[in-house]
Structure 1
Amino acid sequence: MINVLIVEDDPMVGELNKRYLSQIEGFQLKGIASSFQSALHILGEHHIDLILLDIYMPGKNGLELLTELRAQNEAVDVIVISAASELDVIKKTLRYGAVDYLIKPFEFERFQTALSDYRRKQKVYSTHRNMSQKELDAELFQKKEATEKVQLPKGLTKSTLKLIWSSIQSFENESFTTEDLAKHTEISQVSIRKYLKFLEDIQVLNVEMAYGTIGRPVFQYNVNTGNLN
């Protein structure tokens, strides 16, 4: 499980982030901090892998907390969730190693994409000690090439495609079904089939028909790694 700390001074927003987090598999909330000091206290009491960090807080703000964590060489990742849309603030957080930045207000789908992508990368880190350039490109950076360099048919959106692709990546080299993806993403199987059909059409996915336990045909998909570049 990935241990998470929410740093948010607004109780309602903190509760919303907590509810969103509870809907995504693989994450465990360790605490909610409303200030710089309370965040440091929880970090001292628990092993935290990921902080969902607000910028605007009374007293020392989230950017100061991020700066302090890096000065202490804390091995913790940060996803910023903030109303701060100033480019200078965004650039500073990214320079200090924030792995994603969500500007309030945001949709659950965007939140889920950020967390799913983070989870996928952590799985890669935990299963590799060394990586070749080819593996690095395929495992960590290939998602952008497979989902962002394409023209989508009418009715499909890039944000949903990225979410589905992130879920597909979590299966690594294993086959999966629309039902598997629906459980991971909480997107309807009807919608998922449209995106899988698109990925099949551009030859990113292979599909074959198998038969389930009651004899009904089941379509199983796997990534065509040879066509990702």
Structure 2
Amino acid sequence: MNDSLRVLILDDDFRVGQLHRDIIDDQPGFTALEPVRSIAEAREGLRSSTPDLLVADVFLPDGDGIALVRETGVDAILISAADDGPTVRRALRSGAVGYLMKPFERRALTNLLDRYSRYRNLLAGERPLRQDDTDRALAILHGSGEPVSVSRSATEQLVLAALGDGEASAAEVGERVGISRATAQRHLAALAARTVVEVRLRYGATGRPEHRYAVRS
């Protein structure tokens, strides 16, 4: 799938919308579209821009964010000050992939975006899925018990775990972790620059050598 997931932000507070846009634009693999401030603008944005993900407030001046998600069927992260069970259950029934209660820290949103990206990568394409593929995708999306305060280096830790005691290519690491090859390559390059992993070359019969990565002992 495309490395960059396009995100439409819906919040009637202009400052909040811009803040969320900046957070999303700083997240590798995501591109924030211009925020919208009403249900009507969101419907138009969903039709014209076909984003991959909607990040929306629940209570809007002209309608209900949860109803919009249920109506359109778009993947969504819903954000609200509402902390009651019925609202959260209604949000999840609508198809939302995440629910954040205001106020929340920046890392709560970035961690949820990271999990969503890996979930999307695991379920990308038309290949038949095994049950453990589905179980793994759901576990990643819901955090597998990890708190939302996991730091930005969470993906790097998963990359290192995927390497284990052996060596692997960026494509192999991406498949194991549930991220794109380009994202795995970016993290591996950063780890190599810090000498956490080493790069090895494997020469085949023809073509350029394959880059293989291994954790430094």
Could you state the TM-score of these two structures normalised by the residue count of structure 1? Answer: 0.65
> Which of residues 112, 137, 140 in structure 1 aligns to 2:137?
140
Q: 5 Å matches for 1:6-85?
A: 6-69=9-72, 74=73, 76-85=74-83
Residue 220 (structure 1) aligns with: 215
Is the contact between residue 117 and residue 166 of structure 1 (CA under 8 Å) also seen in structure 2?
no
Determine the structure 1 residue equivalent to 2:187: 180
- Looking at structure 2, the residues matched to 146 and 114 of structure 1 have their Cα atoms a distance apart, in angstroms, of 8
Q: 1:159 aligns with which of 131, 149, 154?
A: 149
Deviation sequence 1:172-202 (CA, Å, 0-9, x none): 348x99x937969xxxx8xxx9xxxxxxxxx
Q: 1:200 corresponds to which residue?
A: none
In structure 1, C-alpha distance between the alignment counterparts of 2:190 and 2:64, rounded to whole Å = 37
Structure 2 unmatched ranges of 5 or more:
160-172, 178-182, 201-212
Deviation, structure 1 residue 24: 0.4
Q: Percent identity?
A: 27
TM-score by length of 2: 0.68
Contact 1:148 1:158 in 2 (8 A): no
Q: Residue 6 of structure 1 aligns to a residue in which SS?
A: strand
CA distance in 2, matches of 1:13, 1:111: 13
For the 8 Å contact 1:49–1:77, the answer to whether it is kept is yes
Per the TM alignment, residue 47 of structure 1 is displaced from its structure 2 partner at its CA by 1.5
Structure 1 residue 163, shift from structure 2 partner: 6.6
SS in structure 2 opposite 1:160? coil
Aligned to 1:104: 102
State how far apart, in whole Å, the 1-side matches of 2:87 and 2:101 are: 12
Q: Which residue of 2 aligns with 1:113?
A: 111
Q: Distance in 2 between matches of 1:95 and 1:89?
A: 10
- Residues 108 and 148 of structure 2 are in contact (CA less than 8 Å); yes or no, is this contact kept in structure 1? no
1:166 is displaced (CA, Å) by 8.3
TM superposition shift of 1:131:
1.2
CA distance in 1 between counterparts of 2:64 and 2:55 reads: 13
Contact 1:81 1:103 in 2 (8 A): yes
Per-residue deviation at 1:95? 0.4
CA distance in 1, matches of 2:5, 2:86: 30
2:52–2:75 Cα contact (<8 Å) kept: yes
Q: Is 2:55–2:79's contact at 8 Å kept on the other side of the alignment?
A: yes
Contact residue 56 and residue 84 of structure 1 kept, 8 A: no
* Mapped partners of 2:199, 2:189: distance in 1: 19
Distance in 1 of aligned mates of 2:142 and 2:79: 26
1:85-104 paired onto structure 2 within 5 Å: 85-104=83-102
What is the CA deviation profile of residues 76-117 of structure 1, one whole-angstrom value per residue up to 9, with x for unaligned ones? 201112212221111101001000001111111111111001
The alignment partner of 2:127 has SS state of coil
Task: Give yes or no for contact 1:5–1:31 (8 Å, CA) kept in 2.
Answer: yes
Paired residues, number? 181
Q: Any idea what SS the aligned residue of 2:12 has?
A: coil
